[in-house]
Every structure is written in structure tokens, then in C-alpha cells.
């Protein structure tokens, strides 16, 4: 059932200057006047190039019109693509407000789509995850989730459990009817084994997604003045960290996020570590360096050619900067780079990616879904099938209850419905 409610709009592209901006509107009662304003017809969905009047100027826009119910929300959806200029965008907003649209709340388009049965709860959830997913890699891993394969899995599993319950319940409530046949312990056991297999496979294949879990932290450490900050700037491609010839310029940890082949990493530049007479403030900086190291996924320990190369950080990767000062690169287990000339920087990127790239086999689902399956699995695990059948029934019911959070409510009535349609019950 498609329900009626007010029309809403939202900017689908980020705020700020860009090549184009996309403004989406959705609603079931978009006024005829608005269609006229855009110069399109309610009956004709499609793509149109239209000049629209905005206050004192006009703007050529690309209009995409999806007619209900064949749209993202299940309602009429219109996309207006204009130049990516916030002045134009806000003029369009004014126009929309005048036509009675209201600005959408976060996630409202998806919610409408869900409520209009355009997708299942896990698909809707996956949209939210998509928006918060921070890299191409994550999106690849969430693909099953996004494509509804996970939802399909749930509908299969719940159907199987319900089927088993129907067999067992019909035996419990209608054993004196003669019509229900007798229960086969072996069949029950077999079906339980299949169910266990399905749930086990799921838990093996998928991992719970936490939006922070995919971000990797890479930290640059080393003695003062070996050029950590210069390297940092080369990697992030800009002057982010302050660079000078004075040792100990960096005191605080400097952070910047960057993408390496679709994986998001946080790169951290730290205060140099040295012994001897240091100021209180430098000491504090070094403390921060250690903290940063402790929480990192990869530590790059930077040296300069003149230095005696001796690792101070366990499991770090050796990087020798200022390679432009050297003729030969003698150390085999180190990577030679030059922040100054850019030599070796590309190799450094590859090296970082090699260490932090995610498991290519990993697939993700949301944490909520994962937990529900774990709990359902616990219930199914304890089913023996050779037990007193009302206990088996109880465990199957428990499993369905766990799954209701991801696959909708189960009701006693539903089981009875199936019993009645399967068996000729009744004296």
C-alpha cells in the first residue's frame, strides 16, 4: 500500500561548489502547478532539459522524473540537476518551499521507500550503511547486503524454521486427528542439521560491520628532523604539517585522512623521539607519539641516511628518507624515499596498501543482523531433535523470535495458518 503524506525535498549532492548539484523531491501529491513550473507532464516520466525561472535569473536544468510507484521512494520522484552553485541551489529551495515542499529529515527518502515496500528492512539498513560506508572497499564487502542477498537468506531460513514448526506443532495440537501423519525423528534431525549448516555458513561468511572498524591508522615515527613531516605532506599531497629545519617542530600529533585504492586510512605525523635534554612540552609530544604508535595498524619508522639505523619501535617498517643524498641504497629491508624529489613515494603508498588492505574474502552485514543470527544459531544449536518435541518447538520459536528483529514478526497465528492449509484438520 502506498500511503499519502506531504512532499519533501533534499539536496542529494554535498553542499558547496561542484560541477552539478542534484536536488530530489518526492511526494504523492506534488501539485499540478509544480509540474507546469518545470514544464513537464505528470503523466510522462522521463529525462528533460528545461530552463526554469529562479527569481531574477533562469537556469538550465536537467529534470529526471520517476513516476510512482516506479521510483526510489515508491512516490513521484523528481530530480533537478543544476550547476553546482549554492546560490542557485538555495533559489531552487525557495521555489520548492513556495510550492509547499518541506526539507526532508535525514534518511526520510529511504524510510519512505521502506514503508512503501520498495525494499526490505535489511535493504533499507544497507542504504544507511552505504551512506556511512567510507570506502569503495567497504561497499564491495557490503554488496550482498546491499543487493538483498542477506534478506533472501533470512526469508529462506525463517521459512525453514516455520516449516519445521508446522510439522511439529501439528503433531502436538492435532495428534488425535488422524490427518497429520506421524512425526519422523530422522527427518526433524536432518532438517535441523540443514538449518545449522545455513546459519554456520552465514556466520563464517559475514562479519559485523562497524563504521569505524574499516579505518586503518598509519603512523610516522622517528628521531627529530629526519623529515617525517615532509613525508607526511608528500603522502597527503599538501602542506598540512609544519616543516622547518629546527628539530622538534612537530609537538602535537597531526592527522589527515586519505584514500589508498579505496581504503580509508588515517595518517599521523608525530613528534620526534630523542634522548637527552628536552623541554617539558617536547616530552609531552613524545608521550603522544607513543600513544599514537600503540593504537596504529602500521608504524613507519623514518631514518635519514647519516643515522645509525636501529629500530626503536617493534614491528615497524623501515623508511629511509632523503634518498636524494645517497648514490647507493644498501639496506635491503628498508624503503628509500625522498620527500624532496618525490622519489619512492609511489612505492611507499603501495607498501602501505600492502599492509593494510582488507581481507578480500570478507563480507559484511550490520552488527544488529549479525548478532541476531548468532542468537538464533545458539537456539538451533541446542536442538537435539530426539528430545521431547515441545522443547524442540520451544527452541525453534526462540530462534524465530531472535530473527524477528531482522525479519519481521512471527506469530502463532501464522504457524496455525500453515498447519490448516497443509493438513485436513477437523473432526
Partner 1 sequence: MTYIFDILIIGGGHAGVEAALIARKMGRHVGLVSLDHTKTGRMSCNPAVGGMGKTHIAREVDALGGYIAEATDLAGIQFRVLNRKKGPAVQATRAQTDKDLYEKIIQKKLKEEDVVMIDDEIINFKKEKKEIKSALSKNNEYFAKSYVLTTGTFLNGSILIGHEKNEGGRINERKSSGLESFFKALELKTGRLKTGTPPRLNKKSVDFSSLEEQPGDNEKLFMSYLCGKNKHPKQTSCYITYTNQKTHKIIKNNIKKSAMYSGLISGVGPRYCPSIEDKIMRFKDKEQHQIFVEPEGLQANTIYPNGISTSLPKEIQEEYIRSIKGFEKADITQFGYAVEYDYIDPRNLDKTLRIKKLKNLFLAGQINGTTGYEEAAGQGIVAGINASLLLDNEQWIPKRQDSYLGVLVDDLTRFGVSEPYRMFTSRAEHRLLLRQDNADERMIKYAKKFNTLDPLREEIYSKKQTEKNKARHILEKTKANVGGRKITGTDLCKRNDFSLKDISKITQLKGESFKQTYFDIRYSGYIKKQQRELEKIKNLEEFKLGLIFDYKEVIGLSGELQEKLNHHKPKDLQEVTNIEGITPAAISVLTIHLKKIDAIKAKH
Nearer to partner 1, 111 or 349 (CB): 111
Residue span binding partner 1 (CB under 8 A) among the ranges 89-97, 177-185, 225-233, 303-311: 177-185
CA distance 412 to 423: 17
Q: Which of 114, 202, 209, 293 binds partner 1 (CB under 8 A)?
A: 114
Nearer to partner 1, 69 or 305 (CB): 69
Q: Indicate the helix (H) or strand (E) that contains 334.
A: strand 334-336
CA distance 281 to 21: 47
Evaluate whether 403 touches 198 at the Cβ level (below 8 Å). Answer: no
Instruction: State the minimum distance, in angstroms, from the CB of residue 124 to partner 1.
Output: 7
Q: Which of 173, 200, 324, 381 binds partner 1 (CB under 8 A)?
A: 173
Nearer to partner 1, 46 or 181 (CB): 181
The answer to whether 420 contacts partner 1 (rule: CB under 8 A) is yes
Three-state secondary-structure class, residue 25: strand
The answer to whether 124 contacts partner 1 (rule: CB under 8 A) is yes
The answer to whether 288 contacts partner 1 (rule: CB under 8 A) is no
The answer to whether 374 contacts partner 1 (rule: CB under 8 A) is no
Nearer to partner 1, 168 or 339 (CB): 168
Helices (H), 237-303: 280-294
Residue span binding partner 1 (CB under 8 A) among the ranges 80-88, 300-308, 314-322, 412-420: 412-420
Tell me the per-residue interface mask from 141 to 170 with partner 1, x by CB under 8 A, - otherwise.
----------------------------x-
CA distance 369 to 262: 25
CA distance 120 to 113: 9
Residue span binding partner 1 (CB under 8 A) among the ranges 130-138, 208-216, 262-270, 389-397: 389-397
Q: Which of 52, 148, 160, 177 binds partner 1 (CB under 8 A)?
A: 177
DSSP state at residue 359: P
Which residues, in sequence order, are bridge partners of residue 57?
A: 54
Nearest to 298 by CA among 235, 355, 344, 260: 355
The answer to whether 424 contacts partner 1 (rule: CB under 8 A) is yes
Instruction: State the minimum distance, in angstroms, from the CB of residue 169 to partner 1.
Output: 5
Evaluate whether 250 touches 242 at the Cβ level (below 8 Å). Answer: yes
CB atoms near residue 36 (< 10 Å): 11
Amino acid at each position: 500500500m502506498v500511503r499519502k503524506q506531504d512532499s519533501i525535498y533534499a539536496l542529494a549532492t554535498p553542499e558547496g561548489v561542484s560541477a552539478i548539484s542534484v536536488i530530489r523531491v518526492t511526494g504523492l501529491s506534488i501539485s499540478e502547478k509544480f509540474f507546469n513550473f518545470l514544464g513537464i507532464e505528470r503523466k510522462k516520466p522521463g529525462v528533460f532539459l528545461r530552463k526554469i525561472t529562479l527569481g531574477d535569473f533562469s537556469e538550465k536544468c536537467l529534470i529526471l522524473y520517476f513516476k510512482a510507484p516506479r521510483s526510489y521512494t515508491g512516490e513521484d520522484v523528481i530530480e533537478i540537476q543544476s550547476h553546482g552553485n549554492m546560490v542557485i541551489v538555495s533559489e531552487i529551495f525557495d521555489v520548492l518551499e513556495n510550492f509547499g515542499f518541506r526539507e526532508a529529515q535525514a534518511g526520510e527518502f529511504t524510510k519512505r521507500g521502506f514503508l512503501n515496500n520498495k525494499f526490505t528492512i535489511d535493504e533499507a539498513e544497507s542504504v544507511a550503511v552505504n551512506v556511512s560506508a567510507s570506502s569503495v572497499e567497504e561497499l564491495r564487502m557490503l554488496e550482498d547486503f546491499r543487493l538483498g542477498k542477506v534478506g533472501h537468506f533470512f526469508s529462506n531460513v525463517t521459512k525453514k524454521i516455520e516449516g519445521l514448526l508446522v510439522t511439529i506443532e501439528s503433531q502436538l495440537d492435532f495428534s488425535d486427528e488422524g490427518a497429520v501423519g506421524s512425526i519422523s525423528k530422522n527427518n526433524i534431525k536432518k532438517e535441523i542439521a540443514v538449518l545449522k549448516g545455513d546459519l554456520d555458513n552465514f556466520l563464517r561468511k559475514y562479519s559485523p560491520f562497524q563504521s569505524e572498524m574499516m579505518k586503518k591508522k598509519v603512523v610516522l615515527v622517528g628521531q627529530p628532523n629526519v623529515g617525517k613531516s615532509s613525508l607526511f605532506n608528500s603522502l597527503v599531497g599538501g602542506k598540512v604539517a609544519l616543516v622547518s629545519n629546527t628539530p622538534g617542530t612537530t609537538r602535537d600529533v597531526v592527522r589527515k585522512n586519505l584514500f589508498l585504492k579505496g581504503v580509508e586510512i588515517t595518517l599521523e605525523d608525530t613528534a620526534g623521539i630523542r634522548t637527552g635534554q628536552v623541554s617539558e612540552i617536547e616530552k609531552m609530544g613524545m608521550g603522544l607519539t607513543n600513544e599514537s604508535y600503540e593504537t596504529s595498524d602500521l608504524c613507519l619508522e623514518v631514518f635519514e641516511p647519516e643515522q645509525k639505523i636501529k629500530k626503536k619501535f617493534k614491528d615497524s617498517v623501515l623508511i629511509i628518507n632523503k634518498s636524494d643524498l645517497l648514490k647507493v641504497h644498501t639496506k635491503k629491508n628498508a624503503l628509500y624515499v625522498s620527500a624532496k624529489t618525490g622519489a619512492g613515494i609511489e612505492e611507499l603508498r603501495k607498501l602501505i596498501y600492502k599492509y593494510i588492505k582488507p581481507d578480500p574474502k570478507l563480507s559484511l552485514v550490520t552488527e544488529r543482523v549479525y548478532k541476531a543470527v548468532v542468537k538464533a544459531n545458539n537456539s538451533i544449536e541446542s536442538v537435539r531433535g530426539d528430545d521431547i518435541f515441545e522443547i524442540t518447538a520451544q527452541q525453534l520459536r526462540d530462534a524465530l523470535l531472535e530473527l524477528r528483529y531482522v525479519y519481521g514478526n512471527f506469530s502463532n497465528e501464522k504457524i496455525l495458518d500453515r498447519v490448516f492449509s497443509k493438513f485436513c484438520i477437523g473432526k
